[in-house]
Chain A
Amino acid sequence: SAVISQKPSRDICQRGTSLTIQCQVDSQVTMMFWYRQQPGQSLTLIATANQGSEATYESGFVIDKFPISRPNLTFSTLTVSNMSPEDSSIYLCSAGTSYEQYFGPGTRLTVT
């Protein structure tokens, strides 16, 4: 199995600022994903983080708003840019191989 850690675990930010969330996996994984869970909603995939290349974004999510990096097989970052209160959510990192998928503890973001 793999253990995923995320930093920060929570933050309160002012609108117009940006926050970078880090995701670290304790073993090499093939795929890494970033999800968003808005209050009262289920998880929605933001993008697939690709090692050494641009992330693959889902419909409704753009690189300018959610830039993602993945410099190696065990680490990725998600930046929430120019935040507004609508960005208040839990952001979740997930990582997997062909056989398993693991989840981080999530980052609870509140934008005021």
Chain B
Amino acid sequence: KNEVEQSPQNLTAQEGEFITINCSYSVGISALHWLQQHPGGGIVSLFMLSSGKKKHGRLIATINIQEKHSSLHITASHPRDSAVYICAVRLIQGAQKLVFGQGTRLTINP
């Protein structure tokens, strides 16, 4: 079993829909990252969370440390949100190494 599990693996939605991507992990962490990867391969860091909730524009990320679960929400989704969204956890042990989920491929149709 992977240490970081994301669901769903693939998600297709219509423009304007509310999107939720989930991440569960089984290890002790000091922080959790949500990343966005576009087809060219480059990765953009969206959020780093250690507790609670963060919001940036139409993106909201939450984390529940007790339940070892995080969610990424996109409100009023747009075709430009189409990308792979990756959850990564920073382990308590192991310096600043990250363990990555498999990613969720999101497609927003106009």
Q: Which A residues form the contact surface with B (CB < 8 A)? A: 30-31, 33, 37, 41-45, 48, 90, 92, 94, 96, 98, 100-106, 108
Contacts and interface: CB of A to CB of B under 8 A. Distances in A.
Chain B interface, DSSP helix/strand/loop, else mixed: strand
B41 A90 contact: yes
Given A96-B96, A103-B35, A42 B48 contact: no
Nearest to A99: B48
Contacts of A48: 95, 97
Interface residues on B, range: 20 to 34
Contacts of B40: 105-106, 108
B41 A105 contact: yes
27 contacts: A31-B95, A31-B96, A33-B98, A37-B41, A41-B102, A42-B100, A42-B101, A42-B102, A43-B88, A43-B98, A43-B100, A44-B100, A90-B41, A92-B41, A94-B98, A98-B96, A100-B48, A101-B33, A101-B90, A102-B45, A103-B35, A104-B42, A104-B43, A105-B41, A105-B43, A106-B42, A108-B40
B86 to A, nearest CB: 7
